[in-house]
Structure 1
Amino acid sequence: MDVKQLQYFVVSVDMGSFHAAAEALITTQPNVSKIVKSLEEELDMVLLNRNRNGVTITPQGESIYMYAIEVLKNINIINEFKKGQGLEMLSISSVPSDTLSFHLSKFYNDESKKNIQIDFFETNVEEILKRVHSRKSELGFVYISKRSMSAFKQTIKSKGLEYHELAKTPLYLFVGPNSPLYTRESVDKATIKDIKLVQYQEKQYSLYSQLGHIKEDFLYNRDNISVSYTNSDCFLIQLLKNTSCGFIGSSFINNQYQEYGIKAIPILSYEKSISFGYIHRRRDSLSNLAKSLILYFDNLEMDGK
């Protein structure tokens, strides 16, 4: 089996015919058909059904296709490494954060004289742990509530990870001009039960769950509160700007969404209740670029530092 066989198979599936695949690969239709057939014979599987209109993938082909995609993707990554010798690279996973994205862009600009590449991936805390554990990311930036910290530390220890806190931050209610709470200087959690909320999709480490304490709390009574979920920071911002929805979250900069007319209102009794920091693999030394980024964040005037 070789790379060309996998490439011709994947392109044939994507294009839907050997003829279209041949055009994309700048070769002939018989050559594409021959190479895909050689892959099928080597695997002793029928990967594609041939018909007058082109080709369709078989159930066996579906499984091989997914693995072939990963192989081709990894080969491209290896080739990029070969091209970019001397290139400093930093891969980061983070919870969605407009503030973090802003400061990463400033850091990149400050380091622009160097030959660097930063890969940035936004997702939830559970996925960040997986990505750092599997070495897809060197650093993972997260917000963790006081209530979740014990379970969080046990989880990362079992995965060979460690957590470093950069700041203690408040829990805020973020709202836009359409919210009846927009002019408030502070709110308590009883007030929040009367508004619709939009939250990031998190299972175990949601900051929204910081407000829940016992079963009688309003958090557990779904009849009394309306919550929608998203994994998009852009969609969250637009909802806060244009509707009366609120968002319970944290930020090491309290004016995170100020440019969009969105106000951060402190939630009483939850001052400095959220930890902001990064995770990395315990036994691995940080790259020079990662160290520079951590130093950059250390020098920021964060809330609570």
Structure 2
Amino acid sequence: MQYFVVSVDMGSFHSAAEALITTQPNVSKIVKSLEDELNMTLLNRTRSGVIITPQGERIYAYAIEVLKNINMINEFKKGQEIETLSISSVPSNTLSFYLSQFYNANKQEKDIQLDFFETNVQNVIRRVHARKSELGFVYISKRSMSAFRQQIKSKGLEYNELTKAPLYLFVGKNSPLYRKKSVNETALKDIKLIQYHEKQFSLYNHLGHIKEDVIYNGENMSISYTNSDSFLTQLIKNTEYGCIGSSFVKNQYHELGIKAIPITSCEKSISFGYIRRKKDEISDLAKSLILYFDDIKRF
């Protein structure tokens, strides 16, 4: 059937043979065998090629659907042989790096596929709840944890903490705070910040108790938002803008000449972990990944 379809598409047995990497007599023989089996003339042979008959037109339409279904079945069979793990995560090049390391460590033992979707915390929750992702990796500030746990509990999800990490101010050489070894929350009152777009669970919100007293009264305070990791990185690197973030991106930024300055009083204030559906049994591949990240000091 495939030889017949390709012959129609190519307009001749010769061209079909080239496309199918076989010989012209073989294509002609197989198409003739199909015609004999159906007791129909599907193609009229001419010196310049082949012309499809009215009967052939109808068979061609059926043949296309049959071949599509065969391809779908083959893809399904192939998919059954591959272990797939779908993950959602807040932006983190460090996490992406160690996912690639996990893949390399496991690919020799089994055929695996990692589907990775990077987004904000709310969308990570939605994707795990809708079973679009089996695991969702997030970092949550201590002040947001209660609201976060309440929200995911209502959706039948649970949060498992892997580690705690400090909060940093990330700045480039154009920032007036670049040479500081540490900063307190008061020092943030007159700087420009670029943050990931998070309505409810932004790490910037961890500084909530000083918003009215310090941050919003700062003369030069300016906060911009983005969902682009590249834009955020370039703005920090090349302008006076800074970003409040966790230690999980510390090594990533250091390689770009961006300095991570500890924010005093915010030590071990950020929780990093994963969410999953509470009543669902997770796959063996997901269990392996969790064990791999158990030694979270690698972050």
Larger radius of gyration between Structure 1 and Structure 2: 2
- The CA distance in 2 between the partners of 1:137 and 1:110, in whole Å, is 22
Which residue identity does 1:186 align to in structure 2? S
Is 1:93 aligned to 2:102, yes or no? Answer: no
User: Which residue is 2:62 aligned to?
Assistant: none
CA contact (8 A) 2:165 2:269 kept: yes
1:146-169 per-residue CA deviation (whole Å, 9 max, x = no partner) reads 111001111010000000001110
Map 1:229-268 onto structure 2 (within 5 A).
229-252=225-248, 254-268=250-264
Q: Structure 1 residues 215, 246: CA separation in 2 closer, same or farther (over 3 Å shift)?
A: closer
1:144·1:274 contact (CA, 8 Å) conserved in 2?
Answer: yes
1:200-233 deviation digits (Å, cap 9, x = unpaired): 0001101001001166333445865201111111
- Equivalent residue number for residue 285 of structure 1: 281
Match in the other structure for 1:102: 97
Q: Which residue of 1 aligns with 2:202?
A: 206
Question: Which deviates further from its counterpart, 91-100 or 213-222?
Answer: 213-222
Name the SS for the 2:115 alignment partner. Answer: strand
Q: Distance in 2 between matches of 1:275 and 1:188?
A: 20
Residues 199 and 230 in structure 1, CA contact (< 8 A), matched pair in contact too: yes
Which amino acid is the alignment partner of residue 181 of structure 2? E
Q: Which residue of the partner structure matches residue 119 of structure 2? A: 123
Using the size of structure 1 for normalisation, the TM-score is 0.70
Following superposition, the deviation at residue 260 of structure 1 comes to 0.8
Between the aligned partners of 1:255 and 1:243, the Cα distance in structure 2 is 20
How far, CA to CA, are the matches of 1:208 and 1:174 in structure 2?
A: 12
Give distance in 2, aligned partners of 1:123 and 1:221. 31
Instruction: Give the distance between the partners of 1:212 and 1:271, measured in 2 at CA.
Output: 16
2:222 to 217, 226, 231: 226
Distance in 1 (CA, whole Å) between partners of 2:126 and 2:101 is 27
Pairwise CA distance, 1:252: 3.6
Structure 2 segments unaligned to the other structure (5+ residues):
1-70
Q: Is 1:162 equivalent to 2:158 in the alignment? A: yes
Q: Give the deviation of 1:133 after TM superposition.
A: 0.1
Shifted more, 97-106 versus 196-205: the winner is 97-106
| TM-fit CA distance, 1:77 | 9.2
- Is this contact kept in 1: 2:185–2:210, CA < 8 A? no
Aligned to 1:274: 270
Query: Taking every aligned residue pair, what percent have the same amino acid on both sides?
Result: 71
How do 1:17-28 and structure 2 match up within 5 A?
Answer: none
What is the deviation of 1:103?
1.1
Query: d(CA) in 2 for partners of 1:176 and 1:86?
Result: 47
When normalised by structure 2's length, the TM-score is 0.72
- Which letter maps to 1:262? I
> Aligned-pair RMSD on alpha carbons?
2.1
In structure 2, relative to structure 1, the CA distance for the partners of 1:78 and 1:149 (3 Å cut) is farther
Contact 1:162 1:281 in 2 (8 A): yes
Structure 2: distance between partners of 1:282 and 1:78:
32
Partner SS state of residue 297, structure 2: coil
Structure-1 residue corresponding to 2:11? none
Q: What is the aligned counterpart of 1:144 among 137, 140, 143? A: 140
User: After superposition, what is the alpha-carbon deviation per residue over 1:25-58, rounded to whole angstroms, capped at 9, x for unaligned?
Assistant: xxxxxxxxxxxxxxxxxxxxxxxxxxxxxxxxxx
Larger mean Cα displacement after TM superposition, 186-195 or 165-174: 186-195
Closer/same/farther in 2, CA of residues 260 and 280 from structure 1, 3 Å limit? same
What is the count of residue pairs matched by the alignment?
Answer: 228
Contact 1:145 1:274 in 2 (8 A): yes
Letter in 2 for 1:102: F
CA contact (8 A) 1:160 1:282 kept: yes
Residue 79 (structure 1) shift: 7.3
Give the SS at the match of 1:183.
coil
Alpha-carbon distance in 1 for matches of 2:158, 2:127 = 14
